[in-house]
Amino acid sequence: MADSRRPEEWPPEGQGEALPDFAKVDGEWIWRNYLFLYQSGGGAPQPGAALTIRLERTDGGNAVGVDADRLAAQLGLSAASLRAHNRAGTLFISGRRDDLPGGGGSRATYRFRVGNAEATMAFEEGIKGSRA
């Protein structure tokens, strides 16, 4: 069977593996140590921006969580079907990182694909906090 990945898509390391026990969240890796699906249990996702959870890596960086309900809705799937695609390696991803205007952070943008359905999510990183 031919691989239906586009040239910019790659098979991420650890895709479909369970998160480690210390994560204390129901989830699995999309790309080990960088991107993971988690089950929020928050019901139907609301449109617009949303906060996500992160796991701290041993190098001090963060692995970013993707709410399975939210991504599944954008792809027209159930969360269970999305996780099955992730485990089967048929949830394809590609990504890029851009510096934010004004410096001090970056934005990672990921494109997710299952079959012909696509969704895009962006995650901002390294934004410095401030006080009023």
Q: 99 and 106 in contact (C-beta within 8 Å)? A: yes
Segment 94-105, tens digit of pLDDT: 877 776 676 667
Place of tokens 């990921």: 110
Sign of the alpha-carbon dihedral angle for 44, 48, 51, 53: positive
Residue 91 pLDDT: 94
Residue 18 pLDDT: 95
Residue 104 pLDDT: 64
Q: Write down the domain spans for the chain.
A: 21-40+50-125
pTM score of the predicted model: 0.79
Residue 7 pLDDT: 58
Residue 44 pLDDT: 64
Judge whether residue 1 has pLDDT over 70: no
Q: Work out the mean pLDDT of the chain and round it to a whole number.
A: 81
Distance CA 114, CA 65 (A): 18
Average pLDDT over residues 1-12: 63
Under the banding of pLDDT at 50, 70 and 90, the label for residue 132 is very low
**Exposure of 2 by Cβ count < 10 A (0-12 exposed, 13-18 middle, 19+ buried)?**
exposed
Judge whether residue 6 has pLDDT over 90: no
Distance CA 72, CA 76 (A): 6
